[in-house]
Amino acid sequence: MKIHLCNPNTTASMTEACALAGRAVAAPSTEIVATNPADGPVSIESQYDSAWCVPGLLDLVRREEAAGADAHIVACFRDPGLEACREISRGPVLGIAEAAMHAASLLGRGFTILTTLPRSVPVQEGLARKYGFGGHLRSVRPLNVPVLELEDPTSAAADKVIALTKMARDEDGADCVLLGCAGLVDLAKRVSDETGVVVLDGVVAAVKMAEALVGAGYKTAKAGGYAAPRPKPYTGKFTAAAPE
């Protein structure tokens, strides 16, 4: 099985971190093709950044579809472009926020999302409601910590994750915590060990769920809103993106 794992920002080191996290849990027979666009934002911290990552994401999904990908993962916790990706994919497409929320709703009775910036709080709440998990979401707590610091599980930033996880558990009643960035597997393990809370990394959840859906023989539904885009011309710089 071939899973296309697309980090939609243009920072290759993050792509590599996601790929490592995904490959660490993937089945031996799963090939993970990790990509990122050449064009677009170096990180995604607003809906504006999110919008600008989508053309590159869609180009990569089209390319990997042609190359035989069985599923696609959008490795950004805002789940940009998910519906558009589904329209151009035969196989399943998963966002990492979406996958982590699904997993958490199966494992516990209420989850908290740790997000990097306060401005992301309403975005995360909106995703939870859209997916149906408004009743499972107990809180979204901003870390106010740079992403890069989080990558070191022994940093002071990691201590902040632990502190917020305890607050989520004790004040908000969460028994699961979602790490709202990609590829923090080592941190997830440390936090879980110290708090007793189930800590979920979105890349891990998405890779395993993608394997599950493909393994079940499921495809993206084409009889409704995810039907392939109707063929039509695109103009100017985006001519090549036109659906055929």
96-107 vs 121-131: helix crossing angle, rounded to 10: 60
- Site residues for a copy of itself, window 78-97 (CB under 8 A)? 81, 83-84, 86-88, 92, 94
Rounded Cα distance, 52 and 214, in Å: 29
Least Å from the CB of residue 179 to a copy of itself: 13
Q: Which is nearer to a copy of itself, 158 or 188 (CB)?
A: 188
Least distance between a copy of itself and beta carbon 20 (Å): 15
Work out which of 41, 146, 160, 163 binds a copy of itself, going by CB under 8 A. Answer: 41
Tokens of 161: 């994750």
Interatomic CA distance for residues 67 and 100, integer angstroms: 27
Indicate whether 118 belongs to the interface with a copy of itself (CB under 8 A): yes
Kindly determine how many residues on this chain lie close enough to bind a copy of itself according to the rule CB under 8 A: 97
In the complex, the smallest distance separating the C-beta of residue 209 from a copy of itself, rounded to whole angstroms, is 5
- CA geometry: angle 31, 32, 38, nearest 5 deg: 140
CA distance 153 to 150: 7
One-letter amino acid at 107 equals L
Backbone angles phi, psi at 42, to 5 degrees: -75, -20
> What's the min distance (Å) between Cβ of 204 and a copy of itself?
5
65 binds a copy of itself (CB under 8 A): no
Contacting range for a copy of itself; rule: CB under 8 A; set: 77-85, 143-151, 152-160 = 77-85
Would you mind telling me the total number of residues written for the chain in this entry?
Answer: 244
Spatial distance between the Cα atoms of 101 and 56, rounded to a whole number of angstroms: 25
Which residues within the stretch 182-221 sit at the binding site for a copy of itself (CB under 8 A)? Answer: 195-198, 200, 204-205, 207-209, 211-213, 215-221
Question: Nearest distance from residue 79's CB to a copy of itself, in Å?
Answer: 12
The residue (of 55 and 180) whose beta carbon lies closer to a copy of itself is: 55
The stretch among 98-106, 143-151, 156-164 that binds a copy of itself (CB under 8 A) is 98-106
Nearest to 162 by CA among 185, 193, 125: 193
